[in-house]
Amino acid sequence: MSALQSRTLEPAADNRAELVIRMVGVQKWYGDFQVLRDIDLEVQRSERIVICGPSGSGKSTLLRCINRLEEHQQGQIVVNRAELTADMRRIDAVRRDVGMVFQHFNLFPHLTILENCTLAPVWSRKYTPKEAKEVAMSYLERVRIPEQANKYPSQLSGGQQQRVAIARALCMGPKVMLFDEPTSALDPEMVKEVLDTMVSLADDGMTMLSVTHEMNFARQVANRVIFMDQGTIVEQAEPKEFFGNPKHERTKLFLSQLLH
């Protein structure tokens, strides 16, 4: 497919002024396997969305398409009024505004915690080293591990490493945060400290999309819960409606297996 030229969309109408993500007819294949099928999704500023579904349903791929870690083949993705196309300048601009936290932390093992947090702001945001350090320490304070700044990732627990990953993403000043199963690689006793950090971000109005099976987190934090299966958005609703009165049989089956 020939690459379209990237473009910045005109300001939206008043009733859509707070729209930060729009996906229209998005489709994605891995070879012959279609992993996303005709995805339509709109996300408003400060909205907190939890995406759940069985393994292989396309949840993580959807997130990775939003900041172009994966390329969609058809449809339109617009982030902060900028359409994602093959233009690397546009992709880089979107990535600066969209933070992502992965399942396995993805910290640089040869860098200290502070260095992990200052690297991107210096190179991408053009902060001075002093500015980057001040920002990094403020966010390490925010996630309650400033005393770990001069240690290396291997010296921290899994929960601490994931909180560093969150702080590192926040150091870039993102407008949107994506969380891809941030607690699934953690021991149970470490899950709460990461979820507490995410709850704090939500309380501050951060726009968040989280792929997770932590349904108590979804009930507490989400404005909307989305259920995906076989590459499609099967059902979406506010948490009370989603958990209390699911409409689709696939949603009912998934919740019955997850909650019992």
Q: How far apart, in whole angstroms, are the C-alpha atoms of residue 196 and residue 191? A: 9
| 218 Cβ neighbours under 8 A, 6+ residues apart | 50, 52, 212, 225, 239, 242, 243
Long-range contacts of 187-191 (CB under 8 A, 24+ apart): 187/158, 187/159, 189/159, 190/157, 190/158, 190/159, 190/162, 191/159
Res. 5: pLDDT tops 70: no
**Given pLDDT bands bounded at 50, 70 and 90, which one contains residue 260?**
low
The predicted structure's pLDDT at residue 144: 94
Tokens of 151: 């240690």
| Digit-coded pLDDT (tens) for 142-177 | 999 999 999 999 999 999 999 999 999 999 999 999
The answer to whether residues 98 and 178 touch, using CB atoms and an 8 Å cutoff, is: yes
Res. 16: pLDDT tops 50: no
Q: Tell me what the mean pLDDT of segment 8-36 comes to.
A: 77
**The amino acid at 193:** E
What pTM value is reported for the model? 0.90
List the one residue out of 242, 206, 205 whose CA is nearest residue 226.
Answer: 242
Q: Tell me what the mean pLDDT of segment 60-64 comes to.
A: 97
The predicted structure's pLDDT at residue 259: 75
The answer to whether residues 160 and 148 touch, using CB atoms and an 8 Å cutoff, is: yes
Tokens of 92: 């880089």
The predicted structure's pLDDT at residue 81: 85
The predicted structure's pLDDT at residue 36: 98
72 versus 89: which is more confidently predicted? Answer: 72
**The amino acid at 82:** A
Tokens of 248: 């689709």
CATH number for the region 18-259 comes to 3.40.50.300
The answer to whether residues 180 and 102 touch, using CB atoms and an 8 Å cutoff, is: yes
Round to the nearest angstrom and report the end-to-end CA distance of the chain: 45
Q: How far is CA 136 from CA 141, 146, 208, 256, in A?
A: 9, 9, 21, 42
The answer to whether residues 27 and 36 touch, using CB atoms and an 8 Å cutoff, is: yes
| Digit-coded pLDDT (tens) for 113-129 | 999 999 999 999 999 99
List the one residue out of 89, 30, 31, 109 whose CA is nearest residue 64.
Answer: 30
The predicted structure's pLDDT at residue 13: 40
Res. 75: pLDDT tops 50: yes
Q: How far apart, in whole angstroms, are the C-alpha atoms of residue 171 and residue 107? A: 14
